[in-house]
A and B are shown apart, each in its own frame.
Chain A
Amino acid sequence: MKQMAGQHPNRRPYSAAVPGEAAALRPPSFLFWSAVHVLCCLVSAALGFRFSRLLFLLLFSPASHHHHLHHDHHLHLLRQPPAAVIPSPPPPRPDLPPPPPPPAVAGRVGVGRHGIRVRPWPHPDPAEVARAHEILVRLQQEQRLRYGVKDPRPVIVVTPTYARTFQALHLTGLLHSLMLVPYPLTWLVVEAGGVSNETASLLARSSLPVVHLPFHEDMPVLWNDRHRFEARMRLRALRVIRERRLDGIVVFADDSNVHTMELFDEIQKVQWMGALSVGILAHSAAPDATAKRQQRASEETSPLPIQGPACNSAGQLIGWHTFNSLPYAKKAATFVGDGVTVLPTKLEWAGFVLNSRLLWKEAEGKPNWARDLDEVGISGEEIESPLDLLKDASSVEPLGICGKKVLLWWLRAEARYDSKFPTRWVIDPPLEIVVPAKRTPWPDAPPDLPYQRIEYEGSHVEKRVSKKVRSSRSKRSSHNKKKHETHVDTQVSDMSSAQEK
């Protein structure tokens, strides 16, 4: 099994071979052969591999010639002993001839040297990899059947969204998370501003059943208004669930949130309404000095703000952990794309899950502490959190070991509300002018001297920042002028000269 390092005197298993051979030779020629052996040893010392053994075996064992012929076709299966694999120095050796027969053991496996069988193309076969994945999927299915949730209910996901720069980023992430959910899923996507091609093309990439609902008002720019607007969008989706009598567990998945897979297993336990812990990733997007101070301050107070149910030691709901917005009072973002922290509302919708039967007009066993959906939100009522859908908030079930497990994270990261992006993130037709980024080396460009135009230390920073854009273009334009004489040059030089002004 495990061996000790050099604790025992003789470790050479095949040293038996040499005395055997020597003994077989006649005494009169012993001196001659030993001289040859010494010569071979010197040659080996010079060359760096065991020359004598190879020579002896090749020349002086006629019986094993058959051996060689027989084993020839093995040699391209048998690779060299892993001299290449060992990091320490042994130099590359020629293919070792097959080993001397091992000491007599009655069994068919013997001690001694064996070849290391390596197939000629030791790389995975894609068909086999695909088959292995099929096997894994089937095994995991079986595991879920045996040990997972019994009688899983379908999941209904409600997502408010709208077409904007970062929509592709967030929605694709959510899409992939939902595609991994092992339960039957229906995705209700409510889009502000009506149904757009952007969103439709993103949703078409999933194989999930999506209900794409239009909401014919535009998303407001101010965050406070936006939170209220999203609540109305979600209510719209809940009304659709009520109309169509969709069955399952309703999850409010905002497109920029991050969800764990355990969330979807945990919500299967909900009876009527459940509350989860949401980790709030409220930090500023802009990496500048003010943000760093902010981060340090928030780190001093608490590691990660969490919104969710609060329980007593018996596991019963006694209250709520809400987001403390005092540290961020002056630095909160007001409009979408503001460079400072975006704050969540006191209790985010994402932290609640409902049984869809709570929304139906009539359902068996529907508790009387739930308000009828038609009465909610009609008379201009402010719906801040799903708790407003209930008359009595005390019968909400805490999930995730009574809120100790954080099952999703709330995050808002948006570009400026007026930022532009290419439709469906496709640049068609392709751009005429392609300028490499500063760090990409143009094949035969002259060496870049970025700081030649700085005049004095004071304006060092500013000059450098603006110079980045300029210098590359000017360098390239001059280069282009030399090499290509198309109208492209004039355009580029025009642009660079305009910028320099």
Chain B
Amino acid sequence: SHAADIISTVEFNHSGELLATGDKGGRVVIFQQAQENKTQSHSRGEYNVYSTFQSHEPEFDYLKSLEIEEKINKIRWLPQKNAAQFLLSTNDKTIKLWKISERDKRPEGYNLKEEDGRYRDPTTVTTLRVPVFRPMDLMVEASPRRIFANAHTYHINSISINSDYETYLSADDLRINLWHLEITDRSFNIVDIKPANMEELTEVITAAEFHPNSCNTFVYSSSKGTIRLCDMRASALCDRHSKLFEEPEDPSNRSFFSEIISSISDVKFSHSGRYMMTRDYLSVKIWDLNMENRPVETYQVHEYLRSKLCSLYENDCIFDKFECCWNGSDSIVMTGSYNNFFRMFDRNTKRDITLEASRENNKPRTVLKPRKVCASGKRKKDEISVDSLDFNKKILHTAWHPKENIIAVATTNNLYIFQDKMN
């Protein structure tokens, strides 16, 4: 399969009925959940392709003589207000607002046009009639409604829609901008960490998100493992944070790579808004917004990689940006790993599970078998040793249905949708 098919983002909409994916080739593919089949009560509707469109095209920056990738970095859905659906998609430089609408009727019976579109000779028209709408095969159209461009010097890593549903933020390595969804020629800079002298640059912004309920509050994470919570009411430029979340380094784990593995690749608020989750290279951390000095929960994703950091630095895997997500009730968190493995952590029972997304090992409708990685010592049957892991098979993007136990897991070229077994 082609490199352009590499999935780069996965996102359910607010109802969970639609699932959008973006890929390296700039395309967006939207899947729709089929209506529940009344006869097959043991399974929910399947997801089928609903719409496909080209969101971004490659561009060329003539000033720097560099290509601007068309790869879709993030997709975020707007809550549905009318029949149409809206989503924001972004590449490194430009954000676009897309309207996805259905057309299942078309007007027929024009006076001056034939049904095939050819114009009739007016002199042959003898009677008048009123055109009527007739049903047609469902057509899903995507059209760009807004293009938000030229506001980012660096690469956009995040977009997040505010709970007021009127504004949204976009974050690049050094700056965060605030936009109004209706206004494309203007954005407000709310965070700027660019130093006067670029030689002094030691830290970049890695992710940002609005609080789900409080429309003045947002957080952004950094490459040094810190998260800053900012209140837009405090000042126009949120250079001073309201809160700084940082866990002190564990001295027994110090290494050359301590900083790199502490870099946060994703930050996500819980649906409740009380917690936020961060993903760094080896772990997932849950933070209580009221406690800044350490996370309340830490889950090791693949601690067995700690002794391999030098090799992972050499082959660049240490820079992989894993995402993480909450389930609808905030009781389980999920994130990806290597070898097409992904991990789930149950916050209540403290149990965790490793599963694999691959076609060879799983037939449709079979229950996924838990996997185990053997870190050292004798490898038990069915375990896989660390040295056999395939580091090219990485799961960076996962998403959880907002209401049901349905998950979407993206391997390099494939999208897997799993649902829990219903009794």
Q: Do A and B associate with each other?
A: no
A residues near B (Cβ < 8 Å) are none
B residues near A (Cβ < 8 Å) are none
